[in-house]
Amino acid sequence: MMQFRVPPCRLSEDMSNLFEKSLFADCTLYSGNREFQVHKAVLACRSPVFAAMFEHGMAESLSDCVNIKDIDSEVLGEMLRFMYTGSAPNLERMADELLAAADKYQLERLKVMCEQSLCLSLTNETACETLILADLHSAEHLKTQSTEFINLHANEVMETEGWKVLVKEHPPLLEQVFKALATQQTPPIILNQPPRKRPRQY
């Protein structure tokens, strides 16, 4: 029987070329001093937010230009690269900003990747800031990990500027941290134990 050599899949490389070379682009995103030539179909199939943006009747659907005002141009570029290729080579150095962007545009996989990166880089100095970020963007896994880190290193974390910000500006979040700490320090209560037998009296 004839053996067939199937060429490797080049989808990621092809999509990267599509993004880098702006082949057949039909829309321009502006951020700061940069512009990105993109494809509405790609953005719409990757992000429910972009899909809604390009639907008939929306202002963006009638224009080939969209201003992205709330995302730094470098972060936007990395987010777009992820949307085309599924990878974000510079994620580690901008994970906090990428997390915010991923949350806004409902890119769940990118959001979890950012959470993982931020979890791995938690320090005494960054723990409170990361907790605040996680709470703001409903990153529950990152929020849990940040809370546990703070509780494990409470003495050191309480000396940081981040802790002062948490105390002053985020009282409800601080209360959650204290509740978690109290839960960890409280011995477990064992329920539904059978009653102890009373000794017989003779």
Fold of 122-185: 1.25.40
* Nearest by Cα to 47 from 78, 79, 20: 79
Residue whose pair of structure tokens reads 């996680």 in the numeric block: 134
List Cβ neighbours of 66 (8 Å cut-off, separation of 6 or more). Answer: 27, 28, 29, 30, 53, 60
Mean pLDDT of 53-76: 83
Which residues lie across from 65 on neighbouring strands?
28
Find out whether 12 and 87 touch, Cβ atoms under 8 Å: yes
* Nearest by Cα to 87 from 104, 110, 114: 110
* Three-state DSSP state, 34: strand
> In angstroms, rounded to a whole number, what is the distance separating the alpha carbons of residues 30 and 48?
20
User: What is the predicted pLDDT for the residue at 192?
Assistant: 46
Mean pLDDT of 140-153: 96
Residue whose pair of structure tokens reads 């409903």 in the numeric block: 138
pLDDT at 170 over 60: yes
Tokens representing 43 are 């953005």
- Average pLDDT over the chain reads 89
Confidence of residue 200 (pLDDT cuts 50, 70, 90): low
Mean pLDDT of 62-80: 91
* Nearest by Cα to 121 from 144, 92, 148: 92
Find out whether 74 and 59 touch, Cβ atoms under 8 Å: no
CA distances for 88 relative to 55, 75, 85, 171, angstroms: 27, 10, 8, 35
pLDDT, tens only, 173-192: 999 999 888 876 644 444 34
pTM for the whole thing?
Answer: 0.83
Backbone φ and ψ for 198, nearest 5 degrees, come out as: -80, 135
Find out whether 113 and 88 touch, Cβ atoms under 8 Å: yes
Cite the beta strand spans of the chain per DSSP E.
Answer: 27-31, 34-38, 65-67
User: What is the predicted pLDDT for the residue at 182?
Assistant: 80
pLDDT at 158 over 80: yes
pLDDT at 199 over 70: no
> Structural domain boundaries of the chain?
122-185
pLDDT, tens only, 79-130: 999 999 999 999 999 999 999 999 999 999 999 999 999 999 999 999 999 9
